[in-house]
Amino acid sequence: MNSYKQDEKTEKKSKFSTMPRLFSYLLAYKGRIIAVFALMAFGTVVDLINPLLQERAIDNYILPGDIPGLIKIVILGAVLNILTVIAIKIRMLLMAKTSNKVIQNLRQQLYDHIQGLDLAFFDSRPSGKILARIIGDTNSLKDIIENAVTTLIPNMVTVIAVLVIMFIKNWKLALAALCSLPFMIAGIFLISVMAEKHWRAKRQKSSNMNAFINEDLSGIKIIQSFRAETETDKTFQELVWDDRKEFIRAVRWCDGFGSWIDICWSVGTAALYLVGIKFLGIDNVSIGTYIAFGSYVSMFWQPIMNLSNFYNQFVNAASGAERIFEIIDTKAFVKDKDGAQALPPIKGSVQFKDVTFGYDEEKKVLQNVSFDVTAGETIALVGPTGAGKSTVVNLISRFYDIDSGSLCIDGKDVRDVQLETLRTQMGIMTQDNYIFSGTIRENIMYGKLDATEEEMIAASKAVHADDFIRNLPDGYDTKLTARGGELSNGQRQLVAFARTMLSNPKILILDEATSSIDTKTELLVQAGISSMLKGRTSFVIAHRLSTIQNADRIFVIDQGGIIESGTPAELMAKKGADDKLRQAQCA
């Protein structure tokens, strides 16, 4: 359980290189973004004009008592600000649609890429942590994408424009109002460094918690059977506490942004009036100018406050974007090479020549393994646990690539052909064949999506699944939850058998496929298995003697290779390693 508390090791990249990559997804919607920029430009101009309208209204109309002129300027200001409100509403609607579309595209790209990664990627990551990136990390990017356009750009433009206007109107008052700016920059730099550190840690802790929840719910039957609820609850509390602790730390530092800017804002405002009144003199600056400057000071500091809040989102989203792009940048080791050809319909011969393979560089599971299997031959793979039986069939399916040697099907190296055309001609049955949520019909049709109803029923009958399915309340339309909890282990296996039978593979792999079937059910399915094996090259991994007694040959795998091979009769006569395994099973 402690493994869930270990943070994922991801390459730390500069947020200023990660975020431009994220924002590049907006380029697919240039028309909308240009419209948003136009609406923002109009609103920003109106905001900048408002203090000037106030100054003019006070100095030119209110003080002289020009009521008609005051009414005109008030109407002008009202019309401009009403139009601004409308522009803001339209801008928000456009950006909401755009940001949602960008997140949808990014999540689809991430999901598609993950599906194309090889098993080595999934071996090293709990499924919950992968799920956290597809759901949680992508969701965290929505606001930052939207606010980058609607908050970052207009506020930066406003700050620059206000600075220019203030210095043009009165550079002395401008310097006084901005006297605290250097202190603000230094404080924000320190706060941003610490906030970024804790937001990154927060996302790691959230990922750990999500991974634990996913795995815990998947294994709830084991947890309850061993009465491990107290232990798992303790682990969950620790993970929640770690997540909460990092969140509080990050928020405390982020709260410092607002407090520090408020202090600098107050100092700048006080300096403005102190310099204006005490040193420049009240008679040297008009009342309208004072009020306009007060408005511009607020217009300068308020965007900075907004930018500080945006930065809080920015550092949080940057850590999520890093984690997403880290997966997108992960290269699949098993993939189609340039120029890979489609594998034509195969007969099913398999050749291993000096094949060496290991899941890591230090330990090799197979060493210089060679054998030839003719089309239509049934090979039983036996040996102790961990000897490499499943490794052999995983290599044939090219879930992993061999380290050296060659692996050919019908004389073609599997690394030279397209993966899709290789695997569509194979059927793989394991001990725990996954049942998807949906109907039994949908699960069987997964083997051949364009199969007819007659083909599906024929496949079910061949493995003796049709009878029990028709006895269910809704027959083939019976709805199942994920993993098929409504069915017995044997029934789930029969559904998986029917699915594989429907795919009509030329090479069939049975990896402990009957281990979950009771003896009575096994007797029914043996005839179905026999029909599946006919005309197909088959590799059967099983401990039950009944499963392998009809094999054409048996390979005994141990010590990194095939230590014995021959027909069942030949190996029994030798009384070698295979015979010892049989005796151990019967003991």
Q: What is the pLDDT of residue 239?
A: 87
- Report how far Cα 373 is from the mean position of its chain's Cα atoms: 40
Determine the pLDDT at residue 193.
Answer: 76
At 282, list the tokens: 């009240």
Euclidean distance between CA atoms 180 and 318, whole angstroms: 29
pLDDT, tens digit, for every residue of 372-388?
999 989 999 988 888 88
State the amino acid at position 211 in one-letter form. A
Write the single-letter amino acid at 189: F
Q: Between the CA of residue 512 and those of 180, 381, 424, 495, 538, what are the distances in Å? A: 73, 10, 21, 16, 13
Which run of H or of E encompasses 152? none
pLDDT value, residue 584: 47
Question: In which residue ranges of the chain is pLDDT below 50?
Answer: 282, 584, 586-587
The one-character DSSP state at 150 is: I
Predicted confidence at residue 278, as pLDDT, reads: 61
Listing DSSP states for 30-92 in one string gives: HHHHHHHHHHHHHHHHHHHHHHHHHHHIIIIIITTT-HHHHHHHHHHHHHHHHHHHHHHHHHH
Question: d(Cα 116, Cα 335) in Å, to the nearest integer?
Answer: 8
- pLDDT at site 242: 87
Using alpha carbons, list the distances in angstroms from residue 416 to 217, 421, 422. 41, 11, 10
pLDDT at residue number 223: 74
CA 386, distance to chain mean position in Å, is 31
3-state secondary structure of 353: strand
For 403, the token pair is 């380290």
Residue 405, pLDDT score: 94
**pLDDT value for 582:** 56
Query: How far is it, in rounded angstroms, from Cα 408 to Cα 426?
Result: 14
Backbone angles phi, psi at 486, to 5 degrees: -75, -15
pLDDT tens-digit series, residues 132-186: 778 777 877 877 787 777 777 788 888 888 888 888 877 777 777 777 778 877 8
Say what the pLDDT of residue 546 is. 61
Compute the C-alpha angle 163/94/153, nearest 5°: 20
Number of H helices, E strands in the chain: 23, 12
Helix axes 181-218, 229-274, angle to 10 degrees: 160
Task: Check residue 79 and give its pLDDT.
Answer: 92
Residue 375: per-residue pLDDT: 92
CB neighbour class for 467 (10 Å; exposed up to 12, middle 13-18, buried from 19) = exposed
- Residue 245's CB is within 10 A of a number of other CB atoms, namely 14
Amino acid identity, position 288? G
Which whole-number Å values give the CA distances from 484 to 222, 363, 460, 501, in the listed order?
16, 37, 17, 19
pLDDT for residue 7: 52
